[in-house]
Amino acid sequence: MGDVDVLFLHPSTRVLTAEGEVVRYLAIPMGTFALADLLERSGYSARIVHTGLERMLDPSYRVEDSLRMLEPKLVGIDLHWYCHAYDAIELAGCVKRYSNAKVVLGGMTASFFAEELLSSFGCVDYVIVSDAELPMLELTRAVTGDGDVHDVPNLLYRKGSVVKGSGRAYVASGEDLDKLTCSNIRLLKDWDLYIRLIHENDALSPKLKTQGWLMIGRGCSVNCSYCGGASLAHRSIFGRQRPIFRSPEKVVEDLRVFEELGISCAYMDFDPYPDRKFYYRLFELVRREKVDISSQFLVWSLTDRNFVREFRRAFNPLYTTLTISPETGSESVRLLNKGFYYDNQSLLRWLEMLEEEMVPVELYFASGLSGEDVEEFKKTMRLGERILRAYHNVVGASCSPLFLEPCSPRFLMPKKYGIRLKFKRFSDFYEVYRCFAEGAVPPSRLGYETEHLDEPRIIELSSKFNEMVNSLMMSEKANPMVE
């Protein structure tokens, strides 16, 4: 094949177990598809390779095979999620060993740790800090042309041993997002298998289900203590003062393409304003255009009945669910940690309303929240059990220990949130995921401990919750007629 201008490599989170290697967190950031498509429409050739997916399909797969086949001039590696810290650097090193391509990293984790990445890893040539659309286009033009990158916006690079930047800033607007196409997943090698495997943690995940992640906007209006994508992060990394949306028309265009590609369910995780005015317009347009697709919608706050009815009318019911993350059964802990607060009675009334409207719902809880001790977590156990016993439209409930996220309020202000940081630099995240990949015991799994709970206890609490859920579900299967 050969002579591809830009190759996007998606890193994987590899975990070596006694049974062999497991690849986790399969989703590719939606912006990667948009960038590859933007380059293609601008006259450059671009391809995407999901290295974890390729290893799942063929354990003998090596990244150097893709490099030799495609001969890219520039390789983009997404380091959006911290769980890819180790593999992103491994990929960058591989690119340098087996090709002459330049390497650029981007995404929220790369942006936050940009200077450390360039200072510590010679295999990384550039880091795009913040939004990448215009910078990636200009960087590609420079690398495939005159090689002068000094004026590329949002770009950091090395000059000798010194990290430099152009000084030009670019912050994407809603109008900029409307110029993107986020559904050209055919640029991904083995895309047809990717859409069948992406819903790895979904409660409704039969083999026939296919899923695509939908880009709706960027940013957040609140600060959840544990979230690296909170309003504070978008202000400090991106310079974005408020959330931005694509137009409903552009979102529906992507939904239409999803339908044509055989994607049966659109994953929607962008809900920064409780009034949801945008979604009423979107749902009406979905109905008018007769797009036939399901939706897994992650709501960030409780909704009213009208929203639920409009949502239900817009999407095919086959795989359609609403998902919410109360995180805890303790109202005081929820108030301290959640940007959108609601009390338990309001949550229960909302679940009852969803049951009346016949809409399935999934719930996510967490352990390791600030202000939480063992007694407070018992409230989470009691709330979870009450919900599972009372509401038959609940198709899934689980609890996970919180991981420390870079640029989250807890990372930036640990004393305020009562935690002790064990991860402070990129190298700390790199080390823990190196240990996972090599089957070693990491010095820390979560990156922190709270003033009340150490790491083993935080992990143990989530396990207890999930054991309770499994026990209740097994009991219900054994006695389906028992109310």
> Is 296 found in the same domain as 359?
yes
pLDDT tops 50 at residue 440: yes
- The answer to whether residue 409 is domain-embedded is yes
> Is 422 found in the same domain as 358?
yes
Q: How many residues are given for the chain?
A: 483
Burial (CB count within 10 angstroms: exposed 0-12, middle 13-18, buried 19+), residue 474: exposed
| CATH code of the domain containing 275 | 3.20.20.70
Q: Which pLDDT does position 146 carry in this prediction?
A: 78
Report the alpha-carbon distance of residue 214 to residue 211 in Å, rounded: 10
Q: Which pLDDT does position 480 carry in this prediction?
A: 58
- In single-letter form, the type of residue at position 393 comes to N
Q: Which pLDDT does position 473 carry in this prediction?
A: 83
Report the alpha-carbon distance of residue 56 to residue 150 in Å, rounded: 39
* Domain finish residue from 165, 192, 221: 165
- What confidence tier does 482 reach under pLDDT thresholds 50, 70, 90? very low
- What confidence tier does 19 reach under pLDDT thresholds 50, 70, 90? confident
Report the alpha-carbon distance of residue 142 to residue 146 in Å, rounded: 5
pLDDT tops 70 at residue 1: no
- What confidence tier does 453 reach under pLDDT thresholds 50, 70, 90? very high
Q: Which pLDDT does position 390 carry in this prediction?
A: 96
DSSP string, 413-453: -TTTTTEEES--SHHHHHHHHHHHHHTPPPS-SSSEEESS-
Torsion sign over Cα 454, 459, 462, 463: negative
> Is 231 found in the same domain as 331?
yes
Look at residue 297 and give its three-state secondary structure.
strand
Q: Which pLDDT does position 328 carry in this prediction?
A: 98
> Is 310 found in the same domain as 371?
yes
Domain that holds residue 141: 6-165
Q: CB neighbours (10 Å) of residue 374?
A: 11
322-339 mean pLDDT = 98
> Is 348 found in the same domain as 213?
yes
> Is 349 found in the same domain as 442?
yes
> Is 154 found in the same domain as 219?
no
- The answer to whether residue 116 is domain-embedded is yes
Question: What percent of the chain clears pLDDT 90, i.e. is strictly above it?
Answer: 91
| CATH code of the domain containing 161 | 3.40.50.2300
> Is 218 found in the same domain as 145?
no
Asked which of 17-26, 114-123, 184-193 is least confident by mean pLDDT, the reply is 17-26
- The answer to whether residue 397 is domain-embedded is yes
Residue 296 and residue 307 in contact, taking contact as beta carbons nearer than 8 Å: no
- The answer to whether residue 195 is domain-embedded is no
358-371 mean pLDDT = 98
* Domain finish residue from 117, 141, 165: 165
Report the alpha-carbon distance of residue 220 to residue 192 in Å, rounded: 31
- The answer to whether residue 373 is domain-embedded is yes
- The answer to whether residue 180 is domain-embedded is no
Which positions ≥6 away from 241 have C-beta within 8 Å? 235
What's the start-to-end Cα distance of the chain, in Å?
A: 62
Q: Which pLDDT does position 200 carry in this prediction?
A: 56
Each residue's pLDDT tens digit, 210-223 = 999 999 999 999 99
- The answer to whether residue 483 is domain-embedded is no
Structure tokens at 69: 């086949």
- In single-letter form, the type of residue at position 186 comes to R
- The answer to whether residue 196 is domain-embedded is no
Report the alpha-carbon distance of residue 86 to residue 329 in Å, rounded: 35
> Is 323 found in the same domain as 250?
yes
Structure tokens at 366: 């967490």
Q: CB neighbours (10 Å) of residue 470?
A: 11
- In single-letter form, the type of residue at position 190 comes to D
Structure tokens at 202: 């979904």
Each residue's pLDDT tens digit, 35-72 = 999 999 999 999 999 999 999 999 999 999 999 999 99
331-354 mean pLDDT = 98
Each residue's pLDDT tens digit, 126-185 = 999 999 999 999 999 999 997 789 999 999 999 998 999 988 999 999 999 999 999 999
Asked which of 21-30, 407-416, 443-452 is least confident by mean pLDDT, the reply is 21-30
* Tokens 């912050």 found at: 171
Report the alpha-carbon distance of residue 20 to residue 220 in Å, rounded: 39
| pTM of structure | 0.95
CA atoms lying within 13 Å on the CB side of residue 161: 0
* Domain finish residue from 118, 136, 165: 165
> Is 210 found in the same domain as 116?
no
> Is 207 found in the same domain as 114?
no
- In single-letter form, the type of residue at position 323 comes to T
Instruction: Give the total number of structural domains in the chain.
Output: 2
> Is 209 found in the same domain as 159?
no
Look at residue 118 and give its three-state secondary structure.
helix
Q: How far is CA 206 from CA 197, 210, 303, 392, in A?
A: 10, 9, 28, 19
